[in-house]
Structure 1
């Protein structure tokens, strides 16, 4: 996904240079909840590990972009701080939290366990048509290599993993994995262009889809877990920039 998008408001977060894709909040739900969802969107779309510069969220610019008072923004930020998406810096600054390499590796291990459990449940609960939709996600890459369209493939890659979790139809798994999604997604995006990982990734995805289609629970669980653990091993060996 792109880390920068244009918006009529043109609000920026400061040191990270992230342009917020935000529109004024309406009145259909609580302002606090809507502000929370908008800020989660910003975090999910941010290229957190693109550089060592941290991305600062400016309270004043957020209130102007969202068209609300500072109270719901502060309440949303407090929740995100508690959930571990933000951190409070010096001089009352608030930043999108960056994880260390060790933390990222541990999160990927957790992701591997949760997604393999999701694959097991998907085999039990998803229809043939729902599983078939996974294959269609890669139609655009049938006649070319993923490396030729790395941004598009990166988006499809992330969507694939999210879709497998959704097919489990387990709210508990989905809610749990969402809390680590922003960081794992950012790392997946960064590592795909390296060491021909994109081409190997699509091969892994096709094998996972075949296992789901054949309702082979043991194979699907093993393939899903191995796919993520391979990412963890790559991060451990190659991503010293995280520290």
Structure 2
């Protein structure tokens, strides 16, 4: 008797029936899925507003996710390699709070990548792509009211993501991906401080004008100075990072 498992078999080859299987829709492992879930929670946690260190309980996380502790452990190892958590012997795993100096280094690196992306946009992006940037800020043409800071914060983050993706440079995008996740947390924290939102809005409009005009040098300078302005703000006012 032929050894056939399943309800559908293909024509016989050499007297042996072959079963037919549909491609798997989700080929990710439990560790992959745990990694995505944990990273999403960490990114939305706003760690810089937490009054104390945030400890990750491996047993509780495994229970919450409905999986064993092994994939959770693998996910946390990956997050540690990316700088989101740190393992302390005999104490546990904690969500990383960057120091002021570390945050400034992140922003400085981001300034280099994003300014190059701006240069590439002026050379390679389509007019339709650039026009989408202006549409993001239609709601805020008259400024950024305090009541809309959360909404503006998300659009601000999407704007910077778009600058990177519109460069159409995969290597640059890959380098920026992990860095941006760290940047997302500090951007969300600082946008409501001092007059950051209003200055951010003005900077964005100037950047968009330079990109629309295909003014390569000006666009590159404006984007770099915009990022370094955030670094200067952190240096002067981010006492919570000490």
Identify the TM-score tier after normalising by the shorter chain.
Answer: 0.7 to 0.9
The equivalent residue for 1:154 is 153
Q: 1:125 to 1:64 in 2, by over 3 A?
A: farther
Counterpart residue number, 2:177: 178
TM-score (norm: length of structure 2)? 0.83
Q: How does 1:50-61 map to 2 (within 5 A)?
A: 50-61=49-60
User: TM-score normalised to the size of structure 1?
Assistant: 0.83
Task: Say whether the 8 Å CA contact 1:85–1:96 is kept in structure 2.
Answer: yes
Q: How does 1:136-147 map to 2 (within 5 A)?
A: 136-147=135-146
Q: Which residue of 1 aligns with 2:131?
A: 132
Q: Which residue of 1 aligns with 2:13?
A: none
Provide the residue aligned with 2:206 in structure 1.
Answer: 207
Determine the structure 1 residue equivalent to 2:8.
Answer: none
Whose radius of gyration is greater, 1 or 2? 2
Number of residue pairs aligned between Structure 1 and Structure 2? 218
Q: Report what 1:39 is aligned to.
A: 38
Contact kept, 8 Å, 2:117 with 2:164, in 1: the verdict is yes
Rounded to whole Å, the distance in 1 between the matches of 2:215 and 2:237 is 33
Q: 5+ unaligned residues in a row in structure 1: which ranges?
A: 1-25
The more displaced of 144-153 and 159-168 is: 144-153
Could you tell me how far apart the structure 2 residues matched to 1:172 and 1:39 are? Answer: 26
In the TM superposition, residue 90 of structure 1 has moved relative to its aligned partner by 4.8
SS at structure 1 position matched to 2:63: helix
Distance between the aligned counterparts of 2:226 and 2:211, measured in 1?
15
Aligned partners of 1:147 and 1:199 also within 8 Å? no
The aligned residue for residue 194 of structure 2 is 195
Higher strand share: 2
Post-superposition offset of 1:222: 0.2
The alpha-carbon deviation at position 52 of structure 1 amounts to: 4.1
1-structure distance, mates of 2:145, 2:164: 23
